[in-house]
Amino acid sequence: MSGITHHTPDSMLAAYAAGTLPHPFAIVVAAHISMCATCRASLEAHQAVGGLVLEDTQCTALTDGLKSATLAMLDDVVIPDPVFEADGIFPGPLVQALKGRAPQWKKLGMGVRQDIIQADRSGSVRLLYIPPGQAVPDHGHNGLELTLVLQGSFHDETGTFGVGDLEVADETLDHTPIAGGDIPCICLAATDAPLRFHALIPRLLQPLFRI
């Protein structure tokens, strides 16, 4: 995918390699890397540094028999973990997060729909469907929000985001994303805190609607 201009910040790629990125963000970053050669190459560089840290780690003596036990298992028949490939506009890591199901859109009002894929204490990850030209209700963030465009485009106060672009919005950004004019915009969005919508639903109701 060429034409991607908004990438994963380096600190997030390092954290992704090390496994410390919160799970909802890790899904979005893995999806972006699946679409973006630049970030894949950067991830590989971080893996190279991680490899050097591993190589420089002092050896610790192994229990007698660990090696022979491991060698004895080489011919065991094992069922391989499933490999998730892209399905249409959905990158492999999103297919994995959906566990193979199709999106189940729930109406959010004004034609905007969402499918909450995961929501727990570490944050949430969801698909957003925004009709052409439609604004997503003005919202700010308690934490960080990552938004990856899978189809169409949107623009907000910070710029225009097309397929493969990743927007990183922190709590200081109070923005109004508007979908581009031609086709519905479909995004994968993750936060590490509940969203706060200003216009659509009073904050008190947010826990009910899980938005």
| Partner in contact with 172, chosen from Zn ion, another protein, none, beta carbon below 5 to 8 Å by kind | none
Q: At what angle do helices 10-18 and 37-55 cross, to 10 degrees?
A: 50
Q: Give the integer Cα–Cα distance in Å for 100 and 149.
A: 20
**Interface with another protein by CB under 8 A: which range of 85-93, 150-158, 180-188, 198-206?**
85-93
Under rule CB under 8 A, residue 79 binds another protein: no
Q: How many CA atoms lie within 13 A of 134 on its CB side?
A: 18
**Of 76-84, 130-138, 152-160, 180-188, which part binds another protein (CB under 8 A)?**
76-84
Q: Rounded CA gap, 120 and 93, in Å?
A: 18
Q: Nearer to another protein by C-beta: 130 or 188? A: 188
Among 64, 78, 202, 207, the residue binding another protein under the rule CB under 8 A is 78
3-state helix, strand, coil in the chain (%, to 5): 30, 25, 45
Is residue 17 near another protein by the rule CB under 8 A? yes
Stretch that binds another protein, among 5-13, 109-117, 150-158, 195-203 (CB under 8 A): 5-13
Pick the piece of the chain touching another protein (CB under 8 A) from 81-89, 107-115, 153-161, 200-208.
81-89
Q: What is the 3-state secondary structure (H, E, C) of 189-206?
A: EEECCCEEECCCCCHHHH
Beta carbon nearer to another protein, 40 or 101: 40
Tell me if 201 sits within 8 A of 211, measured CB to CB.
yes
Length of the chain: 211
CA of 203: how far to CAs of 125, 140, 144, in Å?
A: 19, 12, 18
The residues of the shown chain that bind another protein, judged by CB under 8 A, are 1, 9-12, 14-15, 17-21, 23, 25-27, 30-31, 33-35, 37-38, 40-55, 57-63, 66-67, 69-71, 73-74, 78, 80-81, 83-86, 91-93, 96-97
